Amino acid sequence: MPEAQDYYPECPEPFLVGLAHGGDRGAFQELVRRRQSWLRNLMRRCCGDATLSDDLAQQVLLKVWLSLRSLREAQAFGAWMRRLAISIWLQHLRKNDALRGADELDEEAFSRHDTPGEGMDLDAALATLPGLARLCIVLAYHEGMSHPEIAELMEIPLGTVKSHISRGTKRLQQVLSAYRGEPDAEEAR
Amino acid sequence: MTEDRDPMLQAMFSEASPELDGEAFIADVMARSRFTRYRMAVGSLAVAAILVAVAGVVLVPVQELGAILAQGLTMALIDVGEGWWSLIMSPINSVAGLLVLLVKMVRMAMKRVRSASYA
């Protein structure tokens, strides 16, 4: 006879969130299975390091498990989880003092990441951006969030978000110009 | 400012996010989460036990301090004797009343200073 957990892969997410809310580990495992790839990719874009991003993603998921009871609307699970992920990433940045010099662009970072592959190049290019600018860019391009949404999530002024995204985009365009068939990329490297 | 996104960057972000195989990762998360809630509960119990123990030690001195404070705050400023008149006057005719009045006056003064500086 099939057990209830056998049907979890077919259950809608809010239903699983409700079950996990009540302490159902099977439902939580199914949520982890569904969200792990998105979460790890998000953290990878944020930090550029596969090992560190997986560690941070695990921290996020443990936090989800511990504070799931504070989530009031199961429908908002994705946005709530993203908020937790960003909060943990910002904590990590502060702990490592990576926000210092947030207005300076790291000119040498791209040349330090001389690894082939589009994803690697993107991460290396992102590494040339200061912490907050990088996060704004990731939220805009990876998560598809609007500027006001980013400002609200990061609790910073809208103007600052726009400025970070504008400067960050220009920087990425410059560093990744090889993908456009422009000659700047070789020079940037 | 519009929110136009660079199509090349958008494409790169999309392609750089493949579906990641997560069996080992999921197993890790589940292993770590297994005892997390229990650990939290045990931690909370330990903190509660410490608080109860500390309360047991400091309860009597704190109670005594409270009694002294209550006595001091309800002390009459002007002796009006005992009876119903002293009961009616006690909110004003006490150290606590005086302190409340002082705090109110300081806050009003601060508000005036602030509104004057904005103007």
Task: Among B20, B29, B37, select the one facing A32 at the smallest CB separation.
Answer: B29
Q: Give the per-residue pLDDT at B114.
A: 80
Q: Give the per-residue pLDDT at A182.
A: 55
Domain finish residue from A98, A128, A151: A98
Taking only the tens place, the pLDDT of each residue in A14-41 is 999 999 998 899 999 999 999 999 999 9
**Quick check: B9 and A142 in contact, CB under 8 A?**
no
Position A22, amino acid:
G
Answer yes or no: do A5 and A81 share one domain.
Answer: yes
Q: Which residue is it, tokens 């006056």?
A: B105
Answer yes or no: do A84 and A109 share one domain.
Answer: no
**Quick check: B9 and A38 in contact, CB under 8 A?**
no
Tokens of B99: 């302190």
Q: How far is CA A168 from the centre of its chain?
A: 16
Closest by alpha carbon to A142, among A132, A134, A151? A134
Domain finish residue from A55, A80, A98: A98
Answer yes or no: do A87 and A108 share one domain.
Answer: no
Taking only the tens place, the pLDDT of each residue in B59-83 is 888 999 999 999 998 888 888 777 8
Domain finish residue from A51, A67, A98: A98
Which chain B residues are Cβ-neighbours of A147 within 8 angstroms?
1, 3
**Quick check: A137 and A168 in contact, CB under 8 A?**
yes
Residue A24 is given by DSSP the state -
**Over its length of 119 residues, how does chain B's per-residue pLDDT go in tens digits?**
457 788 888 888 888 888 888 899 999 999 988 888 778 889 999 999 999 999 888 988 899 999 999 999 888 888 877 788 888 888 888 899 999 999 999 999 998 888 776 55
Instruction: Enter the ipTM.
Output: 0.75
Q: Give the per-residue pLDDT at B39.
A: 83
Tokens of A51: 């090992």
Answer yes or no: do A68 and A121 share one domain.
Answer: no
Tokens of A118: 């589009």
- pLDDT of A94 above 50: yes
Answer yes or no: do A112 and A141 share one domain.
Answer: yes
Say how far apart CA B49 and CA B69 lie, in whole Å. Answer: 29
**Quick check: A59 and B33 in contact, CB under 8 A?**
no
Position B74, amino acid:
T
Answer yes or no: do A87 and A14 share one domain.
Answer: yes
Taking only the tens place, the pLDDT of each residue in B78-90 is 887 778 888 888 8
Closest by alpha carbon to A91, among A68, A59, A62? A59
Position A93, amino acid:
L
Q: Which residue is it, tokens 């805009």?
A: A140
**Quick check: A84 and A9 in contact, CB under 8 A?**
no
Query: Across all residues in chain B, what is the average pLDDT?
Result: 86
Question: A126 to chain B, minimum CA–CA distance in Å?
Answer: 11
Answer yes or no: do A183 and A109 share one domain.
Answer: yes
Taking only the tens place, the pLDDT of each residue in A36-76 is 999 999 999 998 888 999 999 999 999 999 999 889 899 99
Range of the domain at A186: 102-189
| Number of domains into which chain A is organized | 2
Answer yes or no: do A109 and A86 share one domain.
Answer: no
Q: List residues in chain A touching B: CB distance below 8 A.
A: 23, 25, 28-29, 32-33, 36-38, 40-41, 45, 54, 57-58, 61-62, 65-66, 118-119, 122-123, 140-142, 146-147, 162, 166, 169, 172-173, 176, 179-180
Answer yes or no: do A79 and A128 share one domain.
Answer: no
Answer yes or no: do A4 and A92 share one domain.
Answer: yes
- Show Cβ contacts of residue A135 under 8 Å, excluding neighbours closer than 6 positions: A46, A86, A89, A90, A154
Answer yes or no: do A72 and A12 share one domain.
Answer: yes
- pLDDT of A107 above 60: no
Answer yes or no: do A89 and A110 share one domain.
Answer: no
Which chain A residues are Cβ-neighbours of B44 within 8 angstroms?
none
Q: Specify the CATH number for the domain of residue A109.
A: 1.10.10.10
Say how far apart CA B41 and CA A18 lie, in whole Å. Answer: 21
